[in-house]
Structure 1
Amino acid sequence: MRHGEFHHPRLVRVYDAECPWSRDDDWFLALVDETPAARVLDLGCGTGRLALAMAAAGHTVTGVDPAGASLAAARAKPGADRVTWIEGTSAVLPDRSSDVAVLTSHVAQFFVDDAEWARTLADLARALVPGGRLAFDSRDPADRRWERWNPVDSRRRITLPGGEVVRAWTEVTAVEGGTVAFTHHYLFGDGEELLSSATLRFRTEDELRRSLRAAGFAVERIHGGWSGEPVGRGDGEFLVLARRY
Structure 2
Amino acid sequence: MQRFILILQFLTRITIAKDLSYDEDFKKGIIYFPLVGLVLGGILAVAYKGLSYGLNATVASILVIALYVALTGGLHLDGLGDTFDGFYSSRPRERILEIMKDSRLGTNGVIVIVFGLLIKIFGLAEVLPSRGLTALILMPVMGRLAIVYGSYNISYARKEGLGNIFIDKITKQEIAVATLLTVLCALLDKNALFFIPILWLFSYLFKKYSKQIIGGMTGDTSGALCELTEILYILYLLVLTNIKL
**Does TM, normalized by the shorter one, top 0.5?**
no
Select the structure that is richer in helix: 2
Q: Which has the higher contact order (CA 8 A, sep 6+)?
A: 2
Shorter chain as denominator, the TM-score bin is under 0.3
- TM-score, normalising length: structure 1: 0.26
- TM-score, normalising length: structure 2: 0.26
Select the structure that is richer in strand: 1
